[in-house]
Amino acid sequence: MSEITGPSFFIGKGDEKLISFGSGQPDLPPPPQAFDVLKTYSSFKYGLVQGEESLRAALATQYPKAKSEQFVVTNGASEAIDLALRAIRLRLPKGAIGKVVLPRPYYYSYPHNVRLAGMVPVYYDLKKGKIDYDNFAKVVQGCAAVIINSPSNPTGTVQEVETLRKIEALCEKLGVYVLSDEVYKDIIYVRGNYLLKGSRVVTINSFSKTYAMCGLRVGYLYSQRKELVADVIEMKTHTAMNTSIVGQMMALAALSAPASYIAHNLEVWRSRRDLMVEGMTELGLELWSPEGAFYVFPKFGSSAGGSGKVVRDLYHRYGIITYDGAWFGAPGRVRFSYALDAGKIQEGLRRLQEFLGKEHKRR
Amino acid sequence: MSEITGPSFFIGKGDEKLISFGSGQPDLPPPPQAFDVLKTYSSFKYGLVQGEESLRAALATQYPKAKSEQFVVTNGASEAIDLALRAIRLRLPKGAIGKVVLPRPYYYSYPHNVRLAGMVPVYYDLKKGKIDYDNFAKVVQGCAAVIINSPSNPTGTVQEVETLRKIEALCEKLGVYVLSDEVYKDIIYVRGNYLLKGSRVVTINSFSKTYAMCGLRVGYLYSQRKELVADVIEMKTHTAMNTSIVGQMMALAALSAPASYIAHNLEVWRSRRDLMVEGMTELGLELWSPEGAFYVFPKFGSSAGGSGKVVRDLYHRYGIITYDGAWFGAPGRVRFSYALDAGKIQEGLRRLQEFLGKEHKRR
C-alpha cells in the first residue's frame, strides 16, 4: 500500500464503505441548468484565452463597477493562483527574492504555488484561526504579495471586516499585491462576504464550491490592474490556452440558477456544521467555531501519536478519510470536511468515537 | 485598434468576412461519439489529478508496452509542456541554469514555456526545416532538455527517422530529457509517425489536432520516467487539479471513433495541402514542401516590407489572418494554416495574389 504523503493520495478516491471527511468537494449537485446546456452542445474550437465574453460579462455583473475585460477564466481557482503568482514574479525587479505572505494554517497548495512561481513563502500565525493585524503588518514589509483566504480552508474561520479593511489600506500603501482567495464567499454563516478592494487586489474565485462543479474546473481571477490581467492572458496562451469551452458554458448556465439554489445549499451546510460541531464537542475535541466553508479543524492530543498517525489509523482501521493538519502547516490538528450527508456524518462520528475510545484505553 | 503583437491577438477571433490562415484549429468536426456522451453526462466531482483511469488505460493501448500509470492527462499539450519543463527544473542541481534546446523556427510558445519554467532557451537552426544532426549534437552538450517537434509547427516538415534515432541515442547517453511534441502525429503525408523512445523521453500529445477538439483542451504526457510522472502529478495538484472531467469523457469517446475518421481527415488535409502548395508556388512564393501538420511557411521578399508588415497589411487591407514568422523565430516568413475549406483557401489565395500584385506595382 502506498504511503499517505498528502492530499493527492486521496483526491478522486471513491469507495462506498469509506466515510470521506477528506476532499473539499460538495456532494450537493450543481444546478440542473449546468447540465441542460449539454443536450445541444456542439462547439469544439479554441475560445478566447481570456475566457468567453458571455461568461465574463455575466461575472462582471456580480462585482460592483467591474468590467468583463477585468476577468480571466481559468482551470479552477488553482490555475488562477498559479498564473497570478507567476505574473507577479514576472515583473519583480531583477534579483528580488519575491516574498509572499501566507497565514498559518494555510491552504495546502499555497506554499507550493509560491515556490513553483519562483518565490518564497513567509508566514504569520493565525490566532484561533483569526488574523492578528499587528503580526500581519510586521511580516508584510518588503514582500511582493500576500494571500488572504476568508472563509479559510482549513480553519473554517472568517476574518473580521475591520481587519480586512486595515489590510487593504496597508497593502495599497505598500504597493503589495493581495491575492484574495474567496472561493467560499457564498458559504458564510455569520455575515455576508466582504470583497477585498484595491488597485493591487486580485480576487480569486471559482464555480467549484458555490455551484459544486469541482471536477469541471472553472474558476477565474478578477483584477482592476490591467497590466496583471494582460500578463496572465499572455502566459495562459503558452501554458494552457482557453479554459475548457464546454466547462465555461456549463458555468455560464449555472449562473442562471435562481438565488434559492445558493440559499438552500447554505442551509444544508449550516445544519451539517451544527451536527459536526455538536458531535465533536461531545467527543471532547477542541475546535474553532466554523464560520464559513465546510471544514472543522480539531486538535488531537499528543496521546493519539501525532496527527499523521491519527490520519493513518482513521483511514486504515476505521475507513475514514481525513487530512493531516501538517499538510496545512498545523501539525497536531486534523481537517474534517463536512461535505457529505448527515447519515454519513453520523456514521463517521460513531467511528471516530470508537477510535477515540480505543486510543484512550490503550494509555 | 489594438496592435498585432502575437498570436493571442487572433486566437478565438471569428468573423465571416475574414479568411483565417491563422490559428492551427481544425475546422473538420470531432467524431460524433465525442458529443454523444454529453446527452447523458452527469458527473461533477473531482477526478484523479493524473486523469481518469479509463482514459489513461485507453491511451496506453496506443503505445507499445505502455501502462496507464505512465500517463498524465492535461489541459491540452500546452499544460503538458509547461508541467514537464517545471518538473525538470525542479530536480536541477542547485545553481544550474537549465538550458533547453529548441529548433529555430520553433512553435511560438516554446521559448515562453522554457523561460516561464525558470530555464533558458538555446537554439539551433533548422536547414530547410530539417534538423542538421551535427548542429544539434553541438548545442545539446550541457543542456537539461530538448524539445523535438515532428511534424513541426510552423515549418510543416517531418524529421528523418535516422536523425531522430541518433538524437534518441545521444540524449540517452547524455542524460538529457527529450520532450517530443507529437501533436501532429496523425497528420503526416510522407510516412507513419516515428515515436521517440528512451528513459528520459516525455511524449506530448493531444486530442486537439487528431480529433479536432482544440477548445476542449485535453492533452497528455507519457513517460517511462516514474519520478517525472510523480512530480508532474504533484505539481498539477497545486496548479490546476484534474483536467476537466467532461472533456476527458469526450476524449475517451473520441478514441472509440473508427480508424476511418482519422484516415478521412488525413485525405482532406492532403488535398488542401496540394491546393496551397500549388497556389503559392504559382504566386512565386518560396516554401518548404509540407510533409505533415497543416502549415506552409513561405518567405516574403524584403520588398514586402518585412513579415510583420505583410501580416498587418493582409489583415487590415485584405481580411486575411496569418501569423508572423518572427513569432516563430523566423522573421521574413509568414505562417499560413490550411485548416479551412477549399473554397476559403481559394478566396484567400485570390486575395493574396491581389496583395502581391499591388505590392509589386508599388515598387
Specify which residues B320 forms β-bridges with.
B19
Domain boundary among A212, A236, A255: A255
- Kindly state whether residue A318 falls inside one of the protein's structural domains: yes
B98 close contact with A: CB closer than 8 A = no
Query: How do residues B268-302 score in pLDDT, each as one tens digit?
Result: 999 999 999 999 999 999 999 899 999 999 999 87
Task: Nearest by CB to B49, from A12, A39, A247: name it.
Answer: A12
In whole angstroms, give the CA distance from residue A200 to residue A115: 21
Instruction: Say yes or no: B2 contacts chain A, CB-CB below 8 A.
Output: no
State whether A294 and A234 are in the same domain.
no
Give the residue-averaged pLDDT of B308-333: 96
Residues A215, A267 within the same domain:
no
* B171 within a domain of the structure (yes/no): yes
Q: Containing H/E element for B180?
A: strand B177-181
Residue A31 reports pLDDT greater than 60 = yes
Q: Alpha-carbon distance A264 to A239, whole Å? A: 38
Of the candidates A12, A46, A247, which has its C-beta nearest B48's C-beta? A12
Across the interface, of A39, A44, A215, the residue whose CB is closest to B242 is A215
Residues A203 and A294 in one domain: no
- Taking the C-alpha atoms of residue A177 and residue B330, their distance in angstroms, rounded to an integer, is 37
What's the angle, vertex CA A225, arms to CA A223 and CA A228, rounded to 5? Answer: 90
Residues 106-135 of B with CB under 8 A from A: 109, 112-113, 116, 118
Q: Report the C-alpha gap between A250 and B356 in whole angstroms.
A: 46
pLDDT given for residue B23 in this prediction: 86
Whole-number Cα distances in Å, A103 to A132, A152, A296: 10, 10, 17
The helix or strand, by DSSP H or E, that contains position A316, with its residue range, turns out to be helix A307-318
Residue B282 CA: distances (Å) to CA of B72, B143, B275, B278: 45, 43, 11, 6
Backbone angles phi, psi at A296, to 5 degrees: -120, 155
**Residue A213: its chain B contacts at CB < 8 A?**
44
Going by C-alpha positions, the residue among B198, B153, B208 that lies closest to residue B178 is B198
CATH number for the domain harbouring residue A186: 3.40.640.10
Domain co-membership, B249 together with B270: no
Q: What pLDDT does residue B12 have?
A: 65
CA B172 to CA B167: how far, in whole Å?
8
Please give, rounded to a whole number of angstroms, the shortest distance from the CA of B181 to a CA of chain A: 14
What is the average pLDDT across B248-265? 97
Whether residue A90 is predicted with pLDDT greater than 90 in this model: the reply is: yes
Rounded distance, CA A212 to CA B45, Å? Answer: 8
Is the CB of B12 less than 8 angstroms away from the CB of A42? no
Give the pLDDT mean for B181-202. 97
> Where does the pLDDT of residue A1 fall: very low under 50, low under 70, confident under 90, or very high at 90 and above?
very low
| Residue A242 DSSP class | S
Note whether residue A84 is domain-resident: yes
**Tell me: the pLDDT tens digits for B317-326?**
999 999 999 9
Helices (H), B240-340: 245-255, 259-282, 307-318
Tell whether B226 and B281 lie within a shared domain. Answer: no
Contact residues, chain A, for B257 at CB < 8 Å: none
Q: Report if residue A2 sits inside a domain.
A: no
- The span from the CA of B75 to the CA of B9, in Å, is 21
Chain A: give the shortest CA distance to residue B337, in Å.
15
CATH of the domain at A11: 3.90.1150.10
Residue A44 lies in a domain: yes
Predicted confidence band of residue A77 (pLDDT cuts 50, 70, 90): very high
Q: Which of A205, A228, A255 is the last residue of a domain?
A: A255
What pLDDT digit, counting tens, does each position of B1-54 carry? 468 888 878 876 667 789 999 988 899 999 999 999 999 999 999 999 999 999
Regarding whether B176 and B67 lie in a shared domain, the answer is: yes
**Rounded mean pLDDT of B135-154?**
98
Number of Cβ within a 10 Å radius of residue B207? 29
- Average pLDDT score over chain B: 95
Note whether A135 and A162 are same-domain residues. yes
State the best of A113, A213, A239 to mutate against chain B, taking most chain B CBs within 10 Å: A239
Mean pLDDT of B232-253: 97
A198 shares its domain with A344: no
- Give the mean model confidence (pLDDT) for residues A25-47: 94
Contact indicator for B72, B232 with CB cutoff of 8 Å = yes
B180 shares a domain with B43: yes
Please report whether residue B69 resides in a domain.
yes
Indicate whether B139 and B57 sit together in one domain: yes
Q: Which domain holds residue A21?
A: 7-29+259-362
Q: How far apart are CA A338 and CA A330, in angstroms?
A: 19
User: A164-200 burial string, b = 16+ CB within 10 Å, else e?
Assistant: bebbbebbeeeebbbbbbbbbbbbbbeeeebebbbeb
User: What are the pLDDT digits (tens) for A221-258?
Assistant: 999 999 999 999 999 999 999 999 999 999 999 999 99
Contact map slice: B 240-259 vs A, CB within 8 A: 240-247, 250
Q: Do A79 and B239 touch (CB under 8 A)?
A: yes
- Out of A290-304, B84-98, B109-123, pick the least confident: A290-304
Among B12, B212, B216, the residue with its CB nearest the CB of A48 is: B12
A17 — pLDDT class (breaks 50, 70, 90): confident
* pLDDT score at B1: 44
Asked if the structure places residue A1 within a domain, the reply is no
Tell me what pLDDT residue A7 has: 82
Identify the pLDDT of residue A359. Answer: 66
pLDDT for B302: 78
Q: At what angle do helices B76-90 and A226-239 cross, to 10 degrees?
A: 90
The pLDDT score that the predictor gives to residue A259 is 95
Question: C-alpha distances in angstroms, A252 versus A52, A218, A244, A245, A280?
Answer: 9, 10, 12, 10, 39
Q: B273, B315 in Cβ contact below 8 A?
A: no
CB of A280 closer than 8 Å to CB of A156:
no
Are the CB atoms for B337 and A45 separated by under 8 Å? no
- B12 at the A interface (CB within 8 A)? yes
Residue A227 located in a structural domain: yes
The residue from A255, A286, A313 where one domain ends is: A255
Q: For residue A198, what pLDDT is reported?
A: 97
Asked whether residue A248 falls in the same domain as residue A269, the answer is no
Mean pLDDT of B147-152: 98
Q: How confident is the model at residue B360 (pLDDT cuts 50, 70, 90)?
A: low
Q: Identify all chain A residues contacting B25, using CB atoms and an 8 Å cutoff.
A: 45-46
Question: Do residues A171 and A292 share a domain?
Answer: no
Residue with grid cell 491575492, as numbered in its chain: A179
> Does the pLDDT at position B355 exceed 90?
yes
Q: What are phi and psi of A144, to 5 degrees?
A: -85, -35
| Mean pLDDT of the region A149-171 | 98
pTM for this model (two decimals): 0.96
What torsion, rounded to 10 degrees, do the Cα atoms A62, A68, A71, A77 define? 40
Mean pLDDT of chain A: 95
Q: What pLDDT score was predicted for residue A12? A: 65
Nearest residue of B to residue A33 by CA position? B42
Give mean pLDDT, residues A12-33.
87
Identify all chain A residues contacting B35, using CB atoms and an 8 Å cutoff.
41-42
Q: What's the number of domains chain A is made of? A: 2
Nearest Cα of chain A lies from the Cα of B354 at a distance, in angstroms, of: 30
Q: For residues A237 and B82, what is the distance between their CA atoms, to the nearest angstrom?
A: 11
